[in-house]
Amino acid sequence: MELHVVINGRKDLAGQLYQQLRSAIETGRLAAGTQLPPSRLLAEQLGISRKTISDTYSQLTYENFLTGVTGKGTYVNARPAKIQRKQSHTELASSEVIESWRNLPVFLRHPTLEGSLRYDFIGGATSKGQFPQDDWRRCTSHALRQMAGAKGFYSLPEGLPALRNAIARHIAFSRGVNCQDEDVVVCNGAQQALDLIARVLIQAGSLVAMEDPGYPPARLLFGSHGATVVGVPVDAEGLQVERIPDGTRLIYVTPSHQFPLGMPMSQARREALLERAYELGAIIIEDDYDSEFRYEGRPTDSLQSLDERGIVAYVGTFSKTLLPELRLGYTILPPAILEAVIRAKQLTDLHTSTLPQWALAKFIAEGCLLKHIRRCHTIYAGRRERILARMAGDLAPWFEAVPTVAGFHMVVLCKVPIDIPLVIELARKVEVGLYAINGFYYQQAPRDGLLMGFGAIETLDIDTALDRVRDILQQVS
């Protein structure tokens, strides 16, 4: 009797065979003790190489799905009985804490490859085709050589000296940040930087002020540490500083490119914010997540560069300039909290992986990062102009773009009543990913509109996607 396996095409033959055999064993279709055909016979049956069969059998044997009996053949192994879950989280002493974590909303999660759409205006993502693979591969080879020469000990919690130096030089050049190597702490993305700062500043009931609308993962993170988060409204000049309540000990802002609306904070507001934070004894977190991409006007100084009292913690990330998957970020810390944050970093994860740290240090030092940013800037500028032209053209009856001069997303606000959830649902059916902004509001009344990311969508796809959006709007109007 022939083993029922179906091979489609000529791609990933080993993967197809592996998945089908494993599935058949896990579901019981191939019972324990069943003998599989010899590799030669199965290869003839399927029309693929004997080596592919042998390699697949070896992998399944290694994973304990199969067992080989010398002189007899290959057999399906007996699978251990699945352990039944005996206790619900509601029966545990920590059920209340567990339930609070289970109930946290999920924001800004990127789709898997299987769940991605053909035309996606998702924010915070970049086109992988722009990533300089050859340069990064060369820098990674350098990193492997550096690690091969090391003694194999754990590394420094604050990061490799070479990378801290490269970051300090880069942000001084590109953003005017005033820092030395020793002020830099390398993190697993900006989110870890926020977590570390929150750990050393927040106790249960501590007041944290942040922009409203603002960045939900930051708000949820501060709340998870026991903070009482207050949403402070924004206007055309940014955060309304006079609305920051007394007793606030941490203030989170995105002054260069307000998230999500996009406007920069005015100079007067920046000066007022620094004065208010000093008066409160508060630390300001300046999240400068994507301001290296600027399209109009003179560059604005970072808030940190104006700080003469040591109250601004500057947070940056390479997820936007390079790839989110690298999970590399950093924070420039004022002396008052530097040592405490380094201790917190060591306690939570010892240190960030040194392989990407060595590679990134080389990548920055050789000028590859600045070259990559310049190349992406040209691409993003073209995409931004295309979206703005459409919003001022055939999409003008429905939307108005919020003025923004940096980053690679913009917000378009509804000019007339629109059923945004319905538009998003219909857009997904024609392979267009759209995202509402109402979830970014916290205590302020939400406005209807869309966040239009243009980092991941290809330039030539923008008009096709917006044509479909226009057709949907005409249908539902």
Distances in Å between the Cα of 362 and the Cα atoms of 68, 162, 163, 218, 326 are 48, 8, 8, 31, 15
Q: What is the pLDDT of residue 297?
A: 65
Cα of 395 vs its chain's centroid, Å? 30
Q: What is the pLDDT of residue 171?
A: 93
Q: What is the pLDDT of residue 2?
A: 64
Question: 50-62 and 39-46 are packed helices; what angle lies between their axes, rounded to 10 degrees?
Answer: 120
Cα of 222 vs its chain's centroid, Å? 18
Q: Per-domain residue ranges for the chain?
A: 13-76, 119-128+371-476, 131-366
Backbone angles phi, psi at 35, to 5 degrees: -90, 130
Q: What is the pLDDT of residue 115?
A: 59
Contacts of 348-352 spanning 24+ positions with Cβ under 8 A: 348/195, 348/196, 348/199, 349/188, 349/192, 350/154, 350/155, 350/157, 351/154, 351/155, 351/156, 351/157, 351/159, 352/159, 352/186, 352/187, 352/188, 352/328
Q: What is the CATH number of domain 131-366?
A: 3.40.640.10
The kind and range of the H/E element at 233 are strand 228-235
Do 304 and 420 meet the contact criterion of CB atoms below 8 Å apart?
no
pLDDT in tens, 105-144: 877 677 765 557 889 999 888 877 889 999 999 999 999 9
Q: Does domain 119-128+371-476 have CATH number 1.20.950.20?
A: no
Write out residues in the chain with pLDDT < 70, as ranges.
1-2, 80-86, 108, 112-115, 297-299
Q: What angle do CA 316, 141, 325 make, to 5 degrees?
A: 35
Distances in Å between the Cα of 424 and the Cα atoms of 104, 171, 410, 468 are 23, 38, 17, 11
Pairing of strands 73-76, 35-36: antiparallel
Q: What is the pLDDT of residue 267?
A: 95
Q: What is the CATH number of domain 13-76?
A: 1.10.10.10
Q: What is the pLDDT of residue 273?
A: 98
